[in-house]
Chain A
Amino acid sequence: MSFSVSLRHHFPPIQMDIAFEVPSPGVTAVFGPSGAGKSTIINAAAGLLRPDSCRIVVDGKVLADTCSGVWLAPERRRVGLVFQDSRLFPHMSVATNLRFGMRRVAPGAIRFDEIVELLGIGPLLERRPNTLSGGERQRVAIGRALLAQPHLLLMDEPLANLDSARKAEILPFLMRLKTALHLPVVYVTHSLDEVAGLADSLVLIEAGSVVGFGLVSEVASRADLPLARRDDAGGLLLCRVEEHDAARGLTRLQGGGVELLVPLLDLPVGSGCRARIPAREVILAGRPPEAISLHNIVAGTVRRIAKDEVRRSVIVEIGLPSGGLLSRVTADAVVRLGLSPGKPVLALIKSTSIEVLGLQERGTSGTR
């Protein structure tokens, strides 16, 4: 099962030529700067925009194929779309909005009560959209799209119009949805936080073409991609909570083939989470240092070294048994340590600098 898209479209000054295939179910983040063509992919998949040529297939069903002249109308695609601006119907109550798509399809696996519960919108059902906050509107919009029993869910920067407090409020709902649903989700964003928290796969887009594509943990730790040159760049490890040591106030995580110690988490043992390790917080060493406050000394191999001319620094990609890390150091440090691809190296990571993204037991926001 998969979702695949290939499309060509000319909109001056950009010539788009994009193709990727992602496994289903799973969340695929389409990440890139404004004007890179992210929304074109979404609109073509939904059928709202007809590209010069394209082929879009969801779980074996051809939605569009310009070569053989297949073009399903948006209303016949069963593709849910969550817009940046909610687009709730102002003349209907929240409940009527939620049921709009539901009433137009045969009953499916996604149930009304379940969605209302998952998104926490029970108290809003009788209200009108214009009385809701931005975050509430967006939750209703997500519910409305899901209740139409889509075979594919598209989200076009669903959190872009919200302030950071509202974003933090919605993100856990999205994480919960992700685990509860079994359908492919394409999530367009230009926020790395959302990518780190939600995405399984990552498609990097720049000026109309795919510049990087793969599992999120792989793409995030590639030193040669533009993502690595961002200030908030960093490796992303998919982890499992191994044990809590309440006496020391630490939690042990297992991920990427290594162990990490982080400040005590609220997550249950055995649950999955993601550890984001900012490149600027990772120190490289040739030998293990002694008498140091540091908890995490991770052995890896240098995979790539990329120069960042703008910040006069160097990004070192460190390969771990699975996945990898990024470290931003000076060119001088690379010379002093004699780093080159293939050489073993130690990555020193402060436990407090590791950002853990995961779902807490019940409804509250993810631990930072």
Chain B
Amino acid sequence: MTLLSPEEWQAVWLTLAVAARAVGFGLPVAVLSAWVLTRYRFPGRAVLNALVHLPMVLPPVVTGWLLLIVFGVRGPVGSLLQDWFGIRLVFTTAGASLACAVMTFPIMVRSVRLSLESIDRGLEQAARTLGAGWLDRLVNVTLPLASPGILVGGVVGYATCLGEFGAVITFAANIPGQTQTLPLAIYAALQVPGGEAKAAELSMVSLLLALVGLLLSEWIGKRLSSVLGR
């Protein structure tokens, strides 16, 4: 990989870091949402379900624009973050992570949900009769049994983050070193005359990362299932 220039390396590392942060913050929330959606029936459940899945069906640019509205400097959440914590998300690396997290959220929720639904509810009942309260059951029974789905969700989510484009460019813009992730760098390279070679290199890196991610998720899923005795 000596072919890559320092700027290109920067884009690769930035992409990996942005994706890591997106999954790091997004996955716990995804687990929580999936758990609530599979275990509880409450008014507004359908709305929550739709909201969770919205980024999957919306054009990414629209998602990015909605993020701008909500988390922008004058947005309802963005202005609070700015006033209270001095955090600015728009046009920052953190903002790129947020856009990635929101975009991959449905994928992570679906993966976790599938594995939560495949857990025999009888095991949770058994844990109850043995004196385990809800948090105890969640930590010691439900989450360990759902761990293949959670990990696969994380890995697939991570791999998907690496390719996020529309929402990131809309919400966080295309700032080299700050928000210019791999796909954005590829796009930028293609906009410049003679940038095809650079685009091709970056595309190869992108392809490689995606492939590793998919293989890893497959392996983790299999490995954990056998550890869990299924």
Other 16 A-B pairs with CB < 8 A, given A75-B130, A91-B144, A91-B229? A48-B125, A73-B133, A74-B129, A75-B128, A75-B129, A75-B133, A80-B129, A83-B126, A87-B120, A87-B126, A90-B123, A100-B127, A130-B229, A145-B129, A145-B130, A148-B131
Docked complex Cα distance between A147 and B126 (Å): 13
A287 touches B (CB below 8 Å): no
B56 touches A (CB below 8 Å): no
Contact of A104 among B122, B125, B131, B141 (CB under 8 A): B131
Q: Which A residues are within 8 Å of any B CB, using their own CB?
A: 46-48, 73-81, 83, 85, 87, 89-91, 100-101, 104-105, 128-131, 144-145, 148
Within B108-126, the residues touching A (CB, 8 Å) are: 120, 122-123, 125-126
13 contacts between A and B (CB under 8 A): A73-B133, A75-B128, A75-B129, A75-B133, A80-B129, A91-B227, A100-B127, A104-B130, A104-B132, A105-B131, A129-B229, A130-B230, A145-B129
Query: Are B128 and A48 closer than 8 Å at their CB atoms?
Result: yes
Give chain A residues whose Cβ lies under 8 Å from the Cβ of B136.
Answer: 75, 104
Query: Are B131 and A87 closer than 8 Å at their CB atoms?
Result: no
Query: Are A87 and B133 closer than 8 Å at their CB atoms?
Result: no
Give chain B residues whose Cβ lies under 8 Å from the Cβ of A46.
Answer: 129
Give chain B residues whose Cβ lies under 8 Å from the Cβ of A100.
Answer: 127, 130, 132
Give chain A residues whose Cβ lies under 8 Å from the Cβ of B127.
Answer: 89, 100
Docked complex Cα distance between A90 and B123 (Å): 9
Complex: chain A residue closest to B130, CB-CB? A101
Docked complex Cα distance between A182 and B225 (Å): 40
Give chain B residues whose Cβ lies under 8 Å from the Cβ of A78.
Answer: 131
Docked complex Cα distance between A328 and B42 (Å): 59
B32 touches A (CB below 8 Å): no
Give chain A residues whose Cβ lies under 8 Å from the Cβ of B130.
Answer: 75, 80, 100-101, 104, 144-145, 148
B211 touches A (CB below 8 Å): no
B90 touches A (CB below 8 Å): no
Query: Are B228 and A90 closer than 8 Å at their CB atoms?
Result: yes
Docked complex Cα distance between A74 and B227 (Å): 29
Contact of B145 among A91, A128, A130 (CB under 8 A): A91
Give chain B residues whose Cβ lies under 8 Å from the Cβ of A131.
Answer: 229
Give chain A residues whose Cβ lies under 8 Å from the Cβ of B125.
Answer: 48, 74, 87
Query: Are A83 and B133 closer than 8 Å at their CB atoms?
Result: no
Query: Are B122 and A83 closer than 8 Å at their CB atoms?
Result: yes
Give chain B residues whose Cβ lies under 8 Å from the Cβ of A101.
Answer: 130-131
Give chain B residues whose Cβ lies under 8 Å from the Cβ of A89.
Answer: 123, 126-127, 141
**Which of A47, A77, A85, A87 has most B Cβ within 10 Å?**
A87
Query: Are B229 and A87 closer than 8 Å at their CB atoms?
Result: no
Q: Report the minimum CB–CB distance from B224 to chain A (whole Å).
A: 9
Residues of B within 8 A of A (CB-CB), count: 20
Docked complex Cα distance between A101 and B144 (Å): 17
Query: Are B131 and A85 closer than 8 Å at their CB atoms?
Result: no
Docked complex Cα distance between A83 and B122 (Å): 9
Is chain B's interface secondary structure helix, strand, loop, or mixed overall?
A: helix
Complex: chain A residue closest to B145, CB-CB? A91
Query: Are B122 and A85 closer than 8 Å at their CB atoms?
Result: yes
Q: Report the minimum CB–CB distance from B111 to chain A (whole Å).
A: 19
Complex: chain B residue closest to A100, CB-CB? B130
Query: Are B229 and A48 closer than 8 Å at their CB atoms?
Result: no
Docked complex Cα distance between A267 and B229 (Å): 42
Contact of A91 among B128, B129, B131, B228 (CB under 8 A): B228
Q: Report the minimum CB–CB distance from B220 to chain A (whole Å).
A: 15
Q: Report the minimum CB–CB distance from B101 to chain A (whole Å).
A: 29
User: Known contacts being A89-B123, A90-B145, is A128 close to B129, with CB within 8 Å?
Assistant: no
Q: Report the minimum CB–CB distance from A330 to chain B (whole Å).
A: 49
Q: Report the minimum CB–CB distance from A213 to chain B (whole Å).
A: 26
Query: Are A90 and B133 closer than 8 Å at their CB atoms?
Result: no
Q: Report the minimum CB–CB distance from B132 to chain A (whole Å).
A: 6
Within B200-230, the residues touching A (CB, 8 Å) are: 227-230
Q: Report the minimum CB–CB distance from B116 to chain A (whole Å).
A: 14
Query: Are B229 and A90 closer than 8 Å at their CB atoms?
Result: yes
Q: Report the minimum CB–CB distance from A78 to chain B (whole Å).
A: 7
Query: Are B229 and A128 closer than 8 Å at their CB atoms?
Result: yes
Docked complex Cα distance between A272 and B129 (Å): 33
User: Known contacts being A90-B229, A91-B229, A130-B229, is A48 close to B129, with CB within 8 Å?
Assistant: yes
Docked complex Cα distance between A73 and B132 (Å): 10
Complex: chain B residue closest to A77, CB-CB? B129
Give chain B residues whose Cβ lies under 8 Å from the Cβ of A128.
Answer: 229
Give chain B residues whose Cβ lies under 8 Å from the Cβ of A74.
Answer: 125, 128-129
Q: Report the minimum CB–CB distance from A211 to chain B (whole Å).
A: 29
Q: Report the minimum CB–CB distance from B165 to chain A (whole Å).
A: 39
Give chain B residues whose Cβ lies under 8 Å from the Cβ of A144.
Answer: 130
Q: Report the minimum CB–CB distance from A175 to chain B (whole Å).
A: 24
Complex: chain A residue closest to B126, CB-CB? A87
Docked complex Cα distance between A212 and B68 (Å): 72
Give chain B residues whose Cβ lies under 8 Å from the Cβ of A83.
Answer: 122, 126
Give chain A residues whose Cβ lies under 8 Å from the Cβ of B144.
Answer: 91
Q: Report the minimum CB–CB distance from B115 to chain A (whole Å).
A: 13
Complex: chain B residue closest to A84, CB-CB? B122
The 7 closest A-B pairs by CB, nearest first: A101-B130, A104-B131, A87-B126, A130-B229, A90-B229, A74-B128, A81-B129
Give chain A residues whose Cβ lies under 8 Å from the Cβ of B122.
Answer: 83, 85, 87
